[in-house]
Amino acid sequence: MNLIIDVGNTRVKLAVFSQNALLFQQAILLKEFEFELEATLKAYPALKKAIIASVGKLAASQVALVKARLTALELSQDLNFPFTNLYKTPHSLGVDRIALVSASVFKFPNKNVLIIDAGTCITYDFINAQNQYLGGAISPGIRLRYESLHNHTAKLPLLPTTRPVALIGNATNSAIHSGVVNGISMEIDGILNDYHNNYSDLTVILTGGDAEFLSNQLKNGIFATSNFLLEGLNFILEYNTN
């Protein structure tokens, strides 16, 4: 049984897998880590192994606490991965993107796969049917676009994420919603069209915090999943310990 620890800027995701089945997950604050770790270990005494992603956000004492209780790996570019990395700067490739690509190999082996992770940034990662990771793209996510309009202009308001009711915004607020949300939707649809033109058998994965919101906006057929990163981390743990 595996414990997956995915550390963000302010929150930590804890997940428990039995082989490939997700049994439990929760998002906690960094300050709650020690308490919730103990609670999870108590609830799942069969836990043996762990993987920690984005380890720089945890204190050394917190990492040591995990390693004292479980056989634990810290995710880095130095582990073994189930694909050939053709990125020209492999050590600058984020561990979250590595986990997503690993998940694609596990879930869709020997397929052309484009993974779109819609979070703070929107990342596009492509792996071909020969299990070669070629790279992708990075662009601002939904909240970054709303915040940029507010922070870098004198009068535009900071608005909550809202699905536009029309293409043409007839007031400042509706124009912002149309520009941000329709702009992202058209960006993604345009990128997907180009990939489909080059790879007729393309599988597309949409994941990340804004995946559910965006999936209703997009025209292209996609497979939306919220647990793809966690599945990738579990696969990497198994791949490096079996």
- Which residues fall in the annotated binding site for K(+)? 117
**What are the binding residues for substrate?**
87, 94-97, 172
| DSSP codes joined into one string, the chain | -EEEEEE-SSEEEEEEEETTEEEEEEEEEGGGHHHHHHHHHHH-TT--EEEEESGGGS-HHHHHHHHHHSEEEE--TTS--SSEE--SSGGGS-HHHHHHHHHHHHHSTTS-EEEEEESSEEEEEEE-TTSEEEEEEEEE-HHHHHHHHHHTSSSPPP------S-SS-SSHHHHHHIIIIIHHHHHHHHHHHHHHHH-TT-EEEEESTTHHHHHTT--S--EE-S-HHHHHHHHHHHHHH-
**What are the binding residues?**
6-13, 87, 94-97, 117, 120, 172
**What are the binding residues for ATP?**
6-13, 120
Enumerate the active-site residues: 96
